[in-house]
Every structure is written in C-alpha cells, then in structure tokens.
Amino acid sequence: MMRGKFIVIEGIDGSGKTTQLQLLGDKLKARGVPVLHTREPGGTRVGETIREILLSPASSDLVPRAEALLYAAARAQHVAQVIRPALAAGQIVLCDRFLDSSLAYQGFGRGIDINLLERINEPATGGLVPDLTIVLKFCAEDGLDRINKSGRSFDRIERETRAFHAKVGDGYLVLAGRDPGRYSVIDANRPAEQVHQDVMTAAEGVLNEILTADSGA
C-alpha cells in the first residue's frame, strides 16, 4: 500500500485554517480520497486533555518552557497514535497545526530558541515532516477581531497582546522562507472560496500521485 500524505495548515489565530481544512477535505472526499482530519494540540484523548491545560485561561502562570514541553508531549501522542498509523494506512492526513506552530508561537512569539524547540520536538515527531505546509498569511489584528466578532471567549493564547500575534505571523514567514519547496504561503485576506482555490493548487502537487494511482486502480 502507498504511504499517505501529510498536509498541514498553519497560521495565526483567526486566519481561517479550520474553514480551509474543511473545504479541502470535502473536495478530496468527493473524489474518493481517504481523508483524516485532525488537529494540534489534540487529536487524541490524552492530547485533548493537554489542550485543555494549555488553552485554559486558568493556566496563566504556565512558564514558556513548560508550555513548549506540553505542546511537544501532545504532539508525541498524536504522531504515535494517529498520524503515523493513518499515513501507513495510505490516508491523507489534514492537520490543523503541527511543529511550525511551536516554532512560531513558542519560538518567535515567546522568544525560546528555535534550535532548543527543534531538539525538544525531535522525540515527539521522530523526524516526521509534513509533505506540504500551507501558511495562511493574515493580519494579526484582523484575526483577533474576527474571533472577537464570533462571540466566543478568547483562550489563553488568544489573550496575548497583538504584538505577540504579529511576531507569530512574521515568524511563520521566516519559517516558510527557510524551505520554500515544502511551504506554500497563501494570502488569506480574501474571500474563503478564493483562498481555497490557492490551497487546492498548492495541494495538487502532493495529491496528484494519489489521485493518479486511484484512477489507475
């Protein structure tokens, strides 16, 4: 059986990742491609419990290194229990955030050394790298306004300053610049359907192989 593909969507809070993952997943399912939707932090029972600790405003005293380690712990569980088995079974894994979120938020946002973050995440990912990482480029201020207008309350990370979120957004662009072949940066400050067209184009290179294999079966 052919190994599946691992596609991640990244971006600041309120950038529209979840909508884009849904649109991409629906399009693939309509073509008969086996899709697994998952997210970080979370995606497993233990990971969802860690997510509650991380995002609860009650954890306001969490120190940056403990925060980074908790995200890595949730990731270790997620990679072992969900992502690797799904890829081995030939599925297309569509993941809302992965390692780059730690590099952007804990690295560029909190100021933890990127090399240190990569080291503590090594046992979590075991070297697993996405086939494609799509970065939705969106203004931090507009992202927070969008969440505000949605009426739900801000979680612990969303409560950070606008300057923090702007650093995260800039960090994503630096990360994408390190390895342009594996990233696709898409302007998300447009109607969802237009953004979706670009997401599909970016995903096509990775998916062609699978779509071709399916049609040839």
Nearest approach, Cβ of 121 to ligand TMP (angstroms)?
A: 9
Provide, rounded to whole angstroms, the least separation between the CB of residue 165 and ligand TMP.
Answer: 9
Residue number with the smallest Cβ distance to ligand TMP: 105
Residue given tokens 């990360």 in the structure block: 175
Of 147 and 211, the one with the shorter C-beta distance to ligand TMP is: 147
Q: Which residues bind ligand TMP (CB under 6 A)?
A: 13, 39-41, 71, 96-97, 101-102, 105-106, 157-158
Give 13 or 198: the residue with its C-beta nearer to ligand TMP.
13
CB nearer to ligand TMP: give 106 or 184: 106
Q: Give the shortest CB-153-to-ligand TMP separation in angstroms.
A: 13
Residue 39 or 167: the one with the smaller Cβ distance to ligand TMP is: 39
Cα maximum dimension of the chain? 55
In the complex, the smallest distance separating the C-beta of residue 41 from ligand TMP, rounded to whole angstroms, is: 5
Cα separations in angstroms, 161 against 16, 40, 140: 19, 22, 10
Could you check whether the bond before residue 34 is cis, i.e. omega within 30 degrees of 0? no
The pair of structure tokens assigned to 143 is 């992202």
- Compute, in degrees rounded to 10, the torsion defined by CA atoms 212, 20, 182, 136: 160
Q: With the CA atoms of 66, 70, 72 and 74 taken in that order, what torsion angle do they form, in degrees rounded to the nearest 10?
A: 180
